[in-house]
Structure 1
C-alpha cells in the first residue's frame, strides 16, 4: 500500500450475525467457496523466495518484481486464463501489469478484482502486498478449477509500481478505450489483508458501488466477524477506477495506524500497537502474517467473485440474426426437440411466455430428472453467438439459503458437456426473466442445446422455459 499521510477516518459498519444485505439484483451463486489458505500461503512463500534471491525485495525496476510478475502469469496461463504482461515506464525502470481474463462470460459486462504486486525497496513486501496478490491469484485459480460458468466476464489485475504512486493501475485504465472502460461493472481491490495485528476494514469511499461494499460487510457478518468502514481515499489501486466512475469496493487489514482498545476487544490483538509494525520495512516477511485474517479475507474474495460472476447487469442482447433453433417457442409441441415426454406442454396452470406451449421441467415434488434438447450447427463465420431464453421459476421451498432443485442450461459438444448456467429454487420469480448466455466459443460446431432439471424428494420447484433463441452474427 502506498504511503500517504492523512487521518484515517473510521465509521461504524457493523451488522449483526446472520444479517444479509441485498446487493442490487445479484443472482444467487453457488455456495461461497472455501479458498485454500494453504495454497495462498504457498504463493506467499514463493514471493518470499523470489525476494530473497533478488536483493531482498520485489520493487518496481528490480529483478524481483519481474520474477514475481512471471510467477503470477505462469500460474494463470496454466489454469487457462488469457493473460497479458503490460509493460510501462517509471522513474525506477520498466514495470509490468499482469492482466488475466477468464475466456467465458459476457465480455460486455466485466467484473474485475486486483491487487498490487510490487513491494517497496526496503523489504520483500509479503503482507504489503503479497497477501492481496496471493488471495486474488488463488481465487482466480480456484474459479478456473471449479467448473463454474460465469454470466459476466471475470478479469484479474496484478499492478506494478503501486508504491511509486499507483502507476500501474493508472496506466491500465488510462490506456483502455472508453468503450472498454464502460464494460467494467465493478472493481474489487485487496491491499494488505494479513496484517499481524489485523483489523477488518471495508472500503467506504464508493458506497454506490453496486452494493458490493454492503455485500462484503454482510458476508463477514455471516462469519461472525465485525467490520468497520474506512475511507482509504487515494491510497490504493481502486482510486484509478473510482476516478472514472467505476464502482469499487475492497478490504484492508490495517497498516501503520494503531489499533484502539475497542478494536482489540472486537478483533483481538494488541491495543496501541500498529496493525502492521513491519509496514514498509525489511521485516515484512513471510513471518509477518496473520493467517486467520488471510483465511477469512480470501474467502471473502471468493464470495465476491462467485456472486458477482452471476450478477444480472441487464442490457445484454444476443447478436442479430435468424434463430438457428427450430420450434423455439414450442408451439408445434415436441417437434424438433428430444427428451422426456410431457416436458413440452400447454397445461394452463403454468402460463407460457407467449402462445400456449412452453417447456415445463420438474414441479413434481419427488426425486426426478427431466431433460430437453435440440442439436444445431453454429456458423463458423459468426463474430458472436448467444443462447437466450425466458424462464419463470416458482417453488414451494421456503428456504432462502439452500439449493434443493435445479435446472441446468448446457451445451453438449461431442463428449464434452458444459453447463452455461444453473438456476435453482433460490432464483424464484413469479414473472418471466430473460437470460442471455455467450456461446461464441462453439461457432463452427454441431452442438446440442440441453436443459436438465433435477428435483429432490421434498417440495416442488417448477422451471418453465419459453421462447428460446440461438443467434449468431
Structure 2
C-alpha cells in the first residue's frame, strides 16, 4: 500500500452494523461462493517470507527479492495452465516487473481482471503489504484452474511491480494497452493488505457510479454477517490507474497505519486506539504480522467475485466477419513485426521466392545442426464456427532417399500444452507453393500460440518457405 498524505480514517463511511459470526458458521459454498484455502494462501505467504529472508530481508523493486518473487509466482501459474507474460520497466530503484496471467478460456472481449502489488518497501518483507493480496489472488487463480469451471468471460490476474514507488507497474500496464484492449476490461478488482493484524473490513467506494462490483462485495460480506465500511482509497493503490481510464474498480482492504476507533473495535473486535497494522511499512511486517481470520474471509470474497464474474453476462460480442484473418502481418510484408522467434527466418532474400510480395518465412536451409521458429498468439472466439489455420508452403532439399532428416512442425501452444498439428520433412518436398489447412476447432474460446518450428541435422540443407498465413473463424 502506497504512502499518501490522505489518511484512510478521514474517508471511511460506516455502512453496515451486522454482528460478526465465526467463519465456521458461513453457509455451504455454492458455484459463486467457493472456499479458497487459507492454509494454501498462508503457505504462499511463508514462501514470500523465505524469499525475503534469502534476499536481504525485503522484496523491494530493483532488488533480487522482488525478481525472485515474480519468478516463483510465475512458476506456480505456468504449472496450472495460465498464459503468463512478464513486463519489465525502468524505475528510479532499478528494473521492475509486472506479471500478467490469463486463463486461456472465455470471451477475450470481456476481461474480468484482478490485481495486487507484489513488491514490498525496502525496510521489510511486506507480508501483509502486500504479500497478502498477491497470495490471495494467486491461490484463487490456482483454485479456479483446478475447479473445472467453464468461464463465459476471460479471467486475468496482474501482479504489479513498483507500487511502493508510485503505482508505477499498474500505470505502465494500462498505458501500454491499446484503446481496443482497454475497452475489453469489464472490471478491475484490487486487493491490497487483506490480513492486517488488527483488522477492519473495508470495501473501496471511490468509483461508485454504475459500479456493481462494489455492491456485490458489500452484499457478499452482508450475506456472511461480516460488518463492513466503505472507504475512499483514492490514489493509494493500483486500482487508480484503471479508474483513471473509466474502468469500473472495486476492492477490499483491512486497514493500514490509521487507528481503529472504539466503535470499530466494538463491531469488528480487536484493539481500539491501535493501528490496523502497527507494522505498516516496517521490518516487522513478517509472516507473523497477519490475522488469518481476516485473510480467510477476504480470500473467500475474492473467490466469490471470481466465480460470479467469470460467468457474468456482459452481452454478446459480435464475432469477426467470416473470412477475417485473425493473424497480424500474415504475409510478413512488415518484416518480423508481430512474430516472435529466431532472428533471421522472416526475410526478403531473393534466394527463395515469396508466394506474394517480397517477404516470407524461410525456416531451415542452413545445412547444419540448427533449430528455428516463429510464432504468434491469437485469440480464437468462442463463437467461431470452424476455425482453421492455413498457410502456403514450398520446400526444397539436398537430402536424398526416404529417410527423414529435417523437419518443420506446425504447432499450437495452449497453456502449458504444445500440440503438433502437422509435420513436413525433407521427404516429399515441392518447389511449387501449396496451401495447407489445419483444424483449430479444439481451441474455440482460447488464446493460443501458432508456432512454426524447424529442425535440421548436421549436413545437407532442407528449406521450408512459408507465406500468406491465416487463422479464420470459419
Q: TM-score, normalised by structure 2?
A: 0.67
Q: What's the secondary structure of 1:381's corresponding residue?
A: strand
Distance 1:316 1:17, change over 3 A: farther
Distance 1:442 1:315, change over 3 A: closer
Residue equivalent to 1:251 = 252
Deviation at 1:12, TM superposition (A): 2.4
Contact 2:108–2:445 (Cα < 8 Å) also in 1: no
1:230-241 matched pairs, under 5 angstroms = 230-241=231-242
Distance 1:59 1:442, change over 3 A: closer
Structure with higher Rg: it is 2
1:105-254 matched pairs, under 5 angstroms = 105-208=106-209, 210-254=211-255
Deviation at 1:208, TM superposition (A): 2.4
Deviation at 1:37, TM superposition (A): 0.2
1:16-61, CA deviations, whole angstroms, 9 ceiling, x for partnerless residues? 689xxxxxxxxxx824100000000000000000000000000000
Residue equivalent to 1:56 = 57
Query: Which of these residues, 10, 13, 17, is aligned with residue 11 of structure 1?
Result: 13
Residue equivalent to 1:378 = 386
1:68-105, CA deviations, whole angstroms, 9 ceiling, x for partnerless residues? 00011000000000001110000000000000010000
Distance 1:217 1:440, change over 3 A: closer
Which runs of 5 or more residues in structure 1 are unaligned? 19-28, 323-375, 384-437, 444-470
Which runs of 5 or more residues in structure 2 are unaligned? 21-29, 324-383, 392-442, 449-471
Contact 2:15–2:230 (Cα < 8 Å) also in 1: yes
Distance 1:318 1:30, change over 3 A: farther
1:279-312, CA deviations, whole angstroms, 9 ceiling, x for partnerless residues? 0000000000000000000000000010011111
Query: Which of these residues, 437, 440, 444, is aligned with residue 439 of structure 1?
Result: 444
Equivalent residue pairs, number:
331
Distance 1:440 1:12, change over 3 A: closer
Q: What's the secondary structure of 2:75's corresponding residue?
A: helix
Aligned counterparts of 1:114 and 1:320: Cα–Cα separation in 2: 33
1:253-332 matched pairs, under 5 angstroms = 253-321=254-322
Deviation at 1:65, TM superposition (A): 0.2
Aligned counterparts of 1:193 and 1:441: Cα–Cα separation in 2: 32
Aligned counterparts of 1:156 and 1:189: Cα–Cα separation in 2: 10
Q: What's the secondary structure of 2:187's corresponding residue?
A: strand
Aligned counterparts of 1:10 and 1:249: Cα–Cα separation in 2: 15
Q: TM-score, normalised by structure 1?
A: 0.67
Q: Which moved more, 1:165-174 or 1:8-17?
A: 8-17
Aligned counterparts of 1:58 and 1:80: Cα–Cα separation in 2: 26
Distance 1:3 1:187, change over 3 A: same
Deviation at 1:209, TM superposition (A): 5.0
Aligned counterparts of 1:377 and 1:257: Cα–Cα separation in 2: 56
